[in-house]
Amino acid sequence: MIDTRLKVFISVAHNLSFTKASQELFISQPAISKHIKELESEYNTCLFERMGTHIQLTKAGKILLDNAEIIIQQYKKMNFDMNNIQKKYGGSLRVGASTTIAQYILPEMLAKFMQLYPDININTISDNSRNIEQLLKDGRIDVGMVEGISRQPELKYTNIMKDELVAIVRKGSKMSELDEIDLDTFKSIPIVIREHGSGSLQVIENYLHQNNLRLSDLNIVMSFGTTEGIKHFVEHTETMGIISIMAVSHELMENRFKIIELKGLKMMRDFAYIEKRGESIGLQKIFKHFITDSYKA
């Protein structure tokens, strides 16, 4: 019912790439180009400025993008309102989640949600918390779930689950003979952490600050973009990793890792559901109710 060309245009405008739009929409690149050319022909203007291998929006393209996003949102609301008459829910929802949540929490959430709403199609994207927040502000996703302590004023945060960051070492390593270490010892141990922009690192920095410490006081030997990367590295080295306890539960049961208590440093955090400020509408409202009713901390 909605003009497919607008969906294609929005994807190209957000990605600033015909190739990425093709991958995102599962449409061939020639078809992407055809839709854009049709729009440019209809309005007798260029929507993108080609600069070698890169493109950017023209003034006309920016105007069309602003209006196209409003049209898409209004269409989604209309579609939801009409289907709501018969309590028939369908459509698509774009969900972004920080790396830890996407890997260890979200799959089970979505499996349960799809049992209740089989006609709702969910597309997911995983990135660190900072980037998920930016994607939501940019309109690239409809809702998100993040970790960490940062709060963007344009977004609304609802805490849904508690988590703890723990220090792990390889079972059988010299450090695995310890049960607890003080902060002075902690500073000298080779540490592996998540990358800048991750919610996990924000939490670590916050707790260090509360103990008059900084990241620069630690012996950080490596940072990874994923928790799995940290686990694999620690498993093959004499290092300590700081990760979510949810991410290591199976390995602890298999006796592959050991948690070392950090004296005076218990790093708790919240997982939060995020949305743009204002009233939740349509499928976002249904998804929010499901998440908060099922998991709210």
Does the domain spanning 89-297 belong to CATH 3.40.190.290?
yes
Q: Is it the case that residue 188 has pLDDT exceeding 60?
A: yes
Structure tokens, 178: 């310890």
Gap between the Cα atoms of 260 and 160, Å rounded? 27
- Judged by DSSP in three states, 3 sits in coil
User: Residue 85: what pLDDT?
Assistant: 75
pLDDT for 258-288, tens place per residue? 999 999 889 999 999 999 987 677 888 899 9
User: Residue 292: what pLDDT?
Assistant: 86
Gap between the Cα atoms of 120 and 60, Å rounded? 34
Q: Which amino acid is at 131?
A: N
pLDDT for 122-133, tens place per residue? 999 999 888 999
Instruction: Tell me where in the chain the CATH 1.10.10.10 domain(s) lie.
Output: 1-88
Mean pLDDT of the chain: 90
Q: Give the range among 23-27, 121-125, 243-247 with minimum mean pLDDT.
A: 23-27
Structure tokens, 246: 């949810």
Does the domain spanning 1-88 belong to CATH 2.60.40.740?
no
- Of 250, 131, 253, nearest to 194 by C-alpha is 131
Q: Is it the case that residue 1 has pLDDT exceeding 70?
A: no
Q: How confident is the model at residue 170 (pLDDT cuts 50, 70, 90)?
A: very high
pLDDT for 80-115, tens place per residue? 777 777 677 778 899 999 988 999 999 999 999 999
- Of 99, 277, 274, nearest to 202 by C-alpha is 99
Q: Which amino acid is at 209?
A: H
Q: Is it the case that residue 37 has pLDDT exceeding 90?
A: yes
Q: Is it the case that residue 231 has pLDDT exceeding 90?
A: yes
Instruction: Tell me where in the chain the CATH 3.40.190.290 domain(s) lie.
Output: 89-297
Q: How confident is the model at residue 296 (pLDDT cuts 50, 70, 90)?
A: low
Q: DSSP characters for 129-179? A: HHHHHHHHHTTS-SEEEE-SS---TTEEEEEEEEEEEEEEEETTSGGGG-S
- Give this prediction's pTM: 0.74
Q: Which amino acid is at 168?
A: I
Q: Is it the case that residue 42 has pLDDT exceeding 60?
A: yes
User: Residue 109: what pLDDT?
Assistant: 92
